[in-house]
Structure 1
Amino acid sequence: MSLLKLAASAAVACLFAASVHAQSTGPAISDKVVKIGVLNDQAGPSADVTGIGSLHAARLAVEDFGPTVRGAKIELVVGDHQNKADIGAGIARRWYETEQVDMITDIGNSAVSLAVQALAREQKKIIMHVGSATDRIYGADCSPTGFLWLYDTYAIARAVAKANIALGGDTWYILAADYAFGHSMEGQLKSVVQASGGKVLGSARHPLYGADFSSFVLQAQTSRAKIVALANAGPDTINVIKQGAEFGLTKGGQKLAATTFYITNVHGLGLETAQGLRVVTGFYWDRNDATRAFTERFKKLSGGRVPTQVHAGVYSAVLAYLRAIDAAGTDDGPKVSQQLKAAPVDDMFAEGAKVRSDGRLMNDLFLAEVKAPAESRGPWDYYKIEFRVPAAEIIRPLGEGGCAL
């Protein structure tokens, strides 16, 4: 081979190597900034559960990953959807189309989640739902770039039923709110209890946002069921717990089991009233050294409040997203989505969990019981973790949700 041909071959080889190097290490970020939007209820009834705490959690995730990804700066923005689907969709559209937001997380309202997911699908943008519970997110309304990171109605019902039955709670009375959520949760609880060898002794439906639950509490007491399940949410759950304490329901040996409940609710009720209540949670701050270390950092931002399961889920989602961008070498939505589904999620929230093709994170849930005042060692020491429920036993099977993916 002539010297000229050797030189030409060497030049081509060098150019090819440089091209490969640029593709593998150079920033392939669309506008040299990775922008993440935290969208949730900032001042309304869900603000303690999601709110500013989710922004704190996202900041800690960015801090742990580093200030840049693939040479691009990481920025956070926050929006208040006021629990209205049209407002949430409007913020998301502005973020996607004019403010170059690459990913939206949290949300915490099912109606808003479904509206924003439709928009994200259209824009081919990543959306990582954390505080929203509708199983349609990874079912009939699933998206190639949509993810559900914490819980859903299907998983909550199964975790509550399976864990309580495993602990001996084989007879049930269900108190449900008389609207779609309550009906759905009641039906799912009955199905799982019976399939798991338990027996439902009775059920009753109460008006939404009721004030007097005394007759319903008395019916539950009269049933002598070991577990009184609350297929309701918000102020209804709180009021039933208060009146159950007044009537001595739990002190009489029965267990209240809430389907939608958070550690901030225990803080508001106090241990004297909430003691003995069983709840399902995806995270508890005092579970191990890693959760305690995260909590200490979170408390410095939150004025001493511990993170809820939603806050911990937001941290995990943001960290997984940044890792996926780094591995994929781009912030392109579909490519990042493929990477999120390819690599395990391994952090203090979800150890070694996988993301399915429908976008559902296969994370375990925990059954916790609220401590009696004498058992608590200090502020926020509220839960005893009684049972860990594996994701495979409670999350809807891949082929049953109607997801086209």
Structure 2
Amino acid sequence: TNMSKILTIDELIDVIQQLEKARFDKTNWRTLGGTLGLHPNTLNMISANQRGDTDGCFGGCLSKWLRRADNVDKVGKPSLDTLANALEKMNGCKAQADYIRKLAREGDTGKTGEKNAKSTGPKIDSTKKSSKGGGAQARAGDEDIDGPDGQDPPQDKKCRKEEFSEDLVKDIEILLLPATDAEEEPVMEYLKESPEGYIETSIDGIVKMYIGYYGKRKVIVSKIAPDKTMQGPVHAAIITTKIIERVKSIKHVVAVGVCFGKDPEKQELGQVIVSEIICDFVSKRQGEDSELRRGGDYEVNRETKEMFNFSHNLVLPENIKVSPGPILTTPNVIDNPEIKKGLFDKKPEAVAGEMEGAGIMAAIGYVPQRVGGIVIKGIGDWADGKKKAAEDSKPTAARNAARYVYAALNK
């Protein structure tokens, strides 16, 4: 049954989303972790790694549970049944336990079934306002972090497949480009809320695209990298070129997902970076004694910047922080503090780094009169040799970026 099915780390985002829909108070993550069998030392380490960030700690706790750390198997192997039992043991969480059981009965378990049930959990503010500096704080709305406008999650609409045609994509102006599965998943959660469902199609049977409403705007979503070998600026440029050649109405291309941050003293994991300039560190001249950057800087055009401007009165959960600034694009996964320092020494005003932006900007450079590009990504790690320690933050970073884009397109 869905209740007894053993869960794995691949289902981390699904479990997070189900607890959010159940209105679980994330500030109780430590109690939940202990009840599920995690040691106090493990919970303390999670808190230290996440610098006390509630969302990061919540995700880190569930990640350790799904990886069956400490005494998890003695308490009960990860399953919805074990989760519901743990919630029932916690003060004030019986409604959440009942909700998890109801979801399982109705087949609403993320990968084991699509959403069919409306939330019956109590209305709880699961966000926690951060006191750290480092970025403009977007205005909090009256909604919870689990869905737009604080409403109960709507029923999922079925996806239908259609052959690509000009009529199918007519007048669509926005292209959203997550790079990986983990970055695509939270984007698709919003697309699935389209009032009339969403459409799957492809260009030449190669470039898969989804079409639907993201907030109030109709968009195309296409994943850049179906596997890790395709991450980076080259495939980003190829996918962008393919789509804008066939969808003539596209005006804004958005790279949405996860980036690495510059300074943990001034930024925090999960913070959303909205690029003002994309700095190309892909091309460089390597001499015997020196290395010269050859790539240029791409400025986000006025119309695209205005559409996704962080200073607008966007409705966001108050724990999502937002900062503008230049962002670096490299062709490599950076996980070395010296390499990271070398990059930021060459562009000290940059605030973060990622792998796709410059490729997208290079592609749209051939049609600059009608297409603008921007990078909107959440900080998932610090590229400091400790990516493993920060890996639990990446789902939160991806969700925050997807939520920011939703807020911008729903105004």
Q: What TM-score comes out, normalization by structure 2 length?
A: 0.28
Q: Which has the larger radius of gyration?
A: 1
Q: What TM-score comes out, normalization by structure 1 length?
A: 0.29
Structure in which a larger fraction of residues adopt helix? 1
